[in-house]
Amino acid sequence: LAKTTQPISMDSYEGQEVNITCSHNNIATNDYITWYQQFPSQGPRFIIQGYKTKVTNEVASLFIPADRKSSTLSLPRVSLSDTAVYYCLVGANSGYSTLTFGKGTMLLVSP
Amino acid sequence: EAQVTQNPRYLITVTGKKLTVTCSQNMNHEYMSWYRQDPGLGLRQIYYSMNVEVTDKGDVPEGYKVSRKEKRNFPLILESPSPNQTSLYFCASSPRGLSYEQYFGPGTRLTVT
Protein backbone atom coordinates (compact mmCIF):
# COMPACT_ATOMS: atom_id res chain seq x y z
CA LEU A 1 0.00 0.00 0.00
CA ALA A 2 1.52 3.29 -1.09
CA LYS A 3 2.32 5.74 1.69
CA THR A 4 1.72 9.41 1.26
CA THR A 5 3.56 12.45 2.56
CA GLN A 6 2.02 15.89 2.65
CA PRO A 7 2.75 19.10 4.56
CA ILE A 8 1.31 19.24 8.04
CA SER A 9 -0.03 22.75 7.59
CA MET A 10 -0.34 25.61 5.12
CA ASP A 11 -1.47 29.20 5.40
CA SER A 12 -3.14 31.31 2.77
CA TYR A 13 -5.29 34.40 2.30
CA GLU A 14 -8.70 34.77 0.82
CA GLY A 15 -8.70 34.95 -2.96
CA GLN A 16 -5.38 33.20 -3.43
CA GLU A 17 -4.78 29.95 -5.21
CA VAL A 18 -3.57 27.17 -2.94
CA ASN A 19 -1.55 24.18 -4.08
CA ILE A 20 -1.10 21.22 -1.74
CA THR A 21 1.40 18.64 -2.88
CA CYS A 22 1.36 15.00 -1.88
CA SER A 23 4.26 12.62 -2.35
CA HIS A 24 3.57 8.94 -3.07
CA ASN A 25 6.79 7.41 -4.32
CA ASN A 26 5.60 3.81 -4.11
CA ILE A 27 2.36 4.23 -6.01
CA ALA A 28 1.28 1.07 -7.81
CA THR A 29 0.13 0.81 -11.39
CA ASN A 30 -3.52 0.34 -10.47
CA ASP A 31 -3.60 2.97 -7.72
CA TYR A 32 -5.74 6.07 -7.93
CA ILE A 33 -5.10 9.34 -6.10
CA THR A 34 -7.97 10.74 -4.08
CA TRP A 35 -8.33 13.91 -2.04
CA TYR A 36 -10.75 14.54 0.79
CA GLN A 37 -11.63 17.63 2.81
CA GLN A 38 -12.59 17.51 6.47
CA PHE A 39 -14.04 20.19 8.73
CA PRO A 40 -13.79 19.82 12.52
CA SER A 41 -16.05 17.10 13.94
CA GLN A 42 -17.43 16.23 10.51
CA GLY A 43 -16.78 13.27 8.27
CA PRO A 44 -14.39 13.74 5.36
CA ARG A 45 -15.88 14.85 2.08
CA PHE A 46 -14.64 13.65 -1.31
CA ILE A 47 -13.08 16.41 -3.41
CA ILE A 48 -11.47 14.86 -6.45
CA GLN A 49 -9.87 11.71 -7.79
CA GLY A 50 -7.48 11.06 -10.63
CA TYR A 51 -5.16 8.55 -12.20
CA LYS A 52 -2.87 10.63 -14.40
CA THR A 53 -2.43 14.08 -15.98
CA LYS A 54 -5.04 16.60 -14.91
CA VAL A 55 -8.53 16.34 -13.51
CA THR A 56 -10.77 19.32 -12.85
CA ASN A 57 -14.16 19.67 -11.25
CA GLU A 58 -16.19 22.54 -9.89
CA VAL A 59 -14.16 22.88 -6.70
CA ALA A 60 -10.57 21.83 -7.46
CA SER A 61 -8.00 20.59 -9.91
CA LEU A 62 -5.68 17.67 -9.50
CA PHE A 63 -2.35 17.61 -11.28
CA ILE A 64 -0.48 14.32 -11.62
CA PRO A 65 2.90 14.21 -13.39
CA ALA A 66 3.82 11.41 -15.74
CA ASP A 67 5.75 9.41 -13.13
CA ARG A 68 2.75 9.66 -10.72
CA LYS A 69 5.07 9.85 -7.71
CA SER A 70 3.40 13.01 -6.55
CA SER A 71 0.21 14.95 -7.06
CA THR A 72 -0.95 18.50 -6.43
CA LEU A 73 -4.38 19.58 -5.32
CA SER A 74 -5.11 23.08 -6.53
CA LEU A 75 -7.85 25.18 -4.91
CA PRO A 76 -8.58 28.33 -6.90
CA ARG A 77 -9.38 31.53 -5.05
CA VAL A 78 -9.83 30.12 -1.57
CA SER A 79 -12.24 31.58 0.92
CA LEU A 80 -12.43 31.39 4.71
CA SER A 81 -14.73 28.39 4.38
CA ASP A 82 -11.93 26.41 2.75
CA THR A 83 -10.14 26.27 6.10
CA ALA A 84 -10.03 22.53 6.72
CA VAL A 85 -7.82 19.46 6.75
CA TYR A 86 -7.05 17.99 3.34
CA TYR A 87 -6.14 14.32 2.95
CA CYS A 88 -4.34 12.69 0.07
CA LEU A 89 -4.98 8.97 -0.36
CA VAL A 90 -3.55 6.44 -2.74
CA GLY A 91 -5.06 3.03 -3.38
CA ALA A 92 -6.62 0.64 -5.84
CA ASN A 93 -10.04 1.61 -7.10
CA SER A 94 -11.59 -1.74 -6.47
CA GLY A 95 -11.08 -4.97 -4.64
CA TYR A 96 -9.65 -5.66 -1.24
CA SER A 97 -7.70 -2.79 0.14
CA THR A 98 -7.28 -1.01 3.40
CA LEU A 99 -7.20 2.74 3.18
CA THR A 100 -4.91 4.94 5.22
CA PHE A 101 -5.84 8.60 5.55
CA GLY A 102 -2.74 9.80 7.30
CA LYS A 103 -2.66 13.10 9.16
CA GLY A 104 -3.51 15.39 6.30
CA THR A 105 -2.69 19.04 5.68
CA MET A 106 -4.32 21.68 7.82
CA LEU A 107 -5.09 24.65 5.56
CA LEU A 108 -5.77 27.92 7.32
CA VAL A 109 -7.26 30.70 5.20
CA SER A 110 -7.10 34.18 6.66
CA PRO A 111 -8.93 37.37 5.63
CA GLU B 1 -31.68 11.89 0.44
CA ALA B 2 -28.61 9.71 -0.03
CA GLN B 3 -26.84 9.46 3.27
CA VAL B 4 -24.97 7.49 5.86
CA THR B 5 -26.43 7.62 9.34
CA GLN B 6 -24.83 6.73 12.64
CA ASN B 7 -26.33 6.27 16.06
CA PRO B 8 -25.79 7.40 18.65
CA ARG B 9 -24.00 10.64 17.83
CA TYR B 10 -22.68 11.00 21.34
CA LEU B 11 -22.13 8.31 23.95
CA ILE B 12 -20.54 8.29 27.37
CA THR B 13 -20.10 4.87 28.91
CA VAL B 14 -18.05 3.01 31.45
CA THR B 15 -15.25 0.52 31.03
CA GLY B 16 -16.44 -2.97 30.19
CA LYS B 17 -20.02 -2.19 29.28
CA LYS B 18 -20.74 -3.61 25.84
CA LEU B 19 -21.98 -1.16 23.26
CA THR B 20 -22.94 -1.03 19.62
CA VAL B 21 -22.71 1.91 17.26
CA THR B 22 -25.02 1.50 14.32
CA CYS B 23 -24.32 2.57 10.76
CA SER B 24 -26.78 2.53 7.92
CA GLN B 25 -26.61 3.68 4.30
CA ASN B 26 -29.44 4.07 1.81
CA MET B 27 -27.36 4.11 -1.38
CA ASN B 28 -27.15 0.35 -1.94
CA HIS B 29 -23.38 0.52 -1.59
CA GLU B 30 -21.45 -2.71 -1.38
CA TYR B 31 -18.47 -1.35 0.53
CA MET B 32 -18.60 -0.04 4.07
CA SER B 33 -15.93 0.89 6.55
CA TRP B 34 -15.33 2.12 10.07
CA TYR B 35 -12.68 4.66 11.08
CA ARG B 36 -11.60 6.24 14.31
CA GLN B 37 -10.07 9.66 14.55
CA ASP B 38 -7.82 10.80 17.34
CA PRO B 39 -5.92 14.08 17.72
CA GLY B 40 -2.55 13.91 16.03
CA LEU B 41 -3.21 10.49 14.53
CA GLY B 42 -5.58 11.28 11.71
CA LEU B 43 -8.17 8.81 10.49
CA ARG B 44 -7.41 5.14 11.00
CA GLN B 45 -9.40 2.32 9.53
CA ILE B 46 -10.82 -0.23 11.97
CA TYR B 47 -12.72 -2.70 9.80
CA TYR B 48 -14.17 -2.77 6.34
CA SER B 49 -16.68 -4.86 4.47
CA MET B 50 -16.73 -5.71 0.78
CA ASN B 51 -20.28 -7.08 0.85
CA VAL B 52 -22.76 -8.94 3.00
CA GLU B 53 -21.00 -11.43 5.27
CA VAL B 54 -17.59 -10.29 4.01
CA THR B 55 -15.51 -8.28 6.44
CA ASP B 56 -11.81 -7.72 7.04
CA LYS B 57 -9.53 -5.96 9.46
CA GLY B 58 -8.19 -2.51 8.88
CA ASP B 59 -5.23 -0.92 10.61
CA VAL B 60 -6.56 -0.87 14.19
CA PRO B 61 -9.08 -3.72 14.69
CA GLU B 62 -8.14 -4.69 18.25
CA GLY B 63 -11.04 -4.38 20.67
CA TYR B 64 -13.69 -4.07 17.95
CA LYS B 65 -16.06 -6.38 16.14
CA VAL B 66 -18.27 -5.81 13.14
CA SER B 67 -20.97 -7.67 11.29
CA ARG B 68 -22.58 -7.26 7.88
CA LYS B 69 -25.78 -9.24 7.78
CA GLU B 70 -27.57 -6.79 5.53
CA LYS B 71 -26.18 -4.64 2.78
CA ARG B 72 -27.32 -1.37 4.31
CA ASN B 73 -26.11 -1.92 7.89
CA PHE B 74 -22.62 -2.23 9.33
CA PRO B 75 -22.64 -2.01 13.13
CA LEU B 76 -19.50 -1.53 15.18
CA ILE B 77 -19.40 -3.52 18.39
CA LEU B 78 -17.22 -2.86 21.41
CA GLU B 79 -17.53 -5.95 23.59
CA SER B 80 -15.59 -4.52 26.52
CA PRO B 81 -14.80 -0.86 25.96
CA SER B 82 -11.71 0.65 27.50
CA PRO B 83 -10.67 4.29 27.95
CA ASN B 84 -8.24 4.05 25.01
CA GLN B 85 -11.25 3.57 22.75
CA THR B 86 -12.43 7.07 23.55
CA SER B 87 -12.49 8.60 20.09
CA LEU B 88 -14.51 10.04 17.24
CA TYR B 89 -15.84 7.26 15.02
CA PHE B 90 -16.89 7.52 11.41
CA CYS B 91 -18.70 5.07 9.22
CA ALA B 92 -18.39 5.30 5.45
CA SER B 93 -19.76 3.59 2.38
CA SER B 94 -18.67 3.38 -1.22
CA PRO B 95 -20.28 2.07 -4.40
CA ARG B 96 -17.10 0.41 -5.59
CA GLY B 97 -13.66 -0.14 -4.12
CA LEU B 98 -12.54 1.47 -0.91
CA SER B 99 -10.40 3.90 -2.87
CA TYR B 100 -13.40 5.11 -4.76
CA GLU B 101 -15.45 8.00 -3.47
CA GLN B 102 -16.51 7.28 0.09
CA TYR B 103 -19.53 8.82 1.75
CA PHE B 104 -19.05 9.45 5.44
CA GLY B 105 -21.52 9.53 8.26
CA PRO B 106 -21.74 12.42 10.75
CA GLY B 107 -19.58 10.71 13.36
CA THR B 108 -20.08 9.26 16.82
CA ARG B 109 -18.18 10.75 19.70
CA LEU B 110 -17.53 8.03 22.26
CA THR B 111 -16.16 8.58 25.74
CA VAL B 112 -15.24 5.59 27.90
CA THR B 113 -14.58 6.35 31.55
Instruction: Evaluate whether residue A27 is within a structural domain.
Output: yes
Which of B45, B99, B105 faces A32 most closely, judged by CB atoms? B99
For B11-47, what is the HEC assignment? EEECCCCCEEEEEEECCCCCEEEEEEEECCCEEEEEE
pLDDT exceeds 80 at position B61 = yes
Instruction: Evaluate whether residue A2 is within a structural domain.
Output: no
How many angstroms away from the CA of B62 is the closest CA of chain A?
Answer: 15
Report the alpha-carbon distance of residue A88 to residue A72 in Å, rounded.
Answer: 9
Instruction: Evaluate whether residue A29 is within a structural domain.
Output: yes
Instruction: Evaluate whether residue A75 is within a structural domain.
Output: yes
What per-residue string of b and e applies to A51-89 under the rule 16 or more CB within 10 Å gives b? eeeebeeeebbbbbeeebebbbbbbeebeeebbbbbbbb
pLDDT bin (cut points 50, 70, 90) of residue B26 is very high
Q: What is the mean pLDDT of chain B?
A: 93
pLDDT exceeds 60 at position A96 = no
Longest pairwise C-alpha distance within chain A: 44
pLDDT exceeds 90 at position B100 = no
How many angstroms away from the CA of A53 is the closest CA of chain B?
Answer: 18
Instruction: Evaluate whether residue A46 is within a structural domain.
Output: yes
> Are the beta carbons of A42 and B106 separated by less than 8 Å?
yes
Count of structural domains, chain A: 1
Residue B62 neighbours by CB under 8 Å, 6+ apart: none
Question: For residue A62, what are the domain limits?
Answer: 9-110
pLDDT exceeds 60 at position A95 = no
Which candidate, B44, B35, B9, places its Cα nearest to that of B93?
B35
Instruction: Evaluate whether residue A72 is within a structural domain.
Output: yes
Instruction: Evaluate whether residue A86 is within a structural domain.
Output: yes
List of chain B residues whose C-beta atoms are within 8 Å of the C-beta of residue A102:
42-43
pLDDT exceeds 90 at position B99 = no
Instruction: Evaluate whether residue A19 is within a structural domain.
Output: yes
pLDDT exceeds 90 at position A30 = no
* Residues A37-87: tens digit of each pLDDT: 999 889 999 999 999 999 999 999 999 999 999 999 999 999 999 999 999
Which candidate, A48, A51, A70, places its Cα nearest to that of A61?
A48
Of A1-5, A12-16, A25-29, A103-107, the least confident: A1-5
CATH number at residue A87: 2.60.40.10
pLDDT exceeds 90 at position B84 = yes
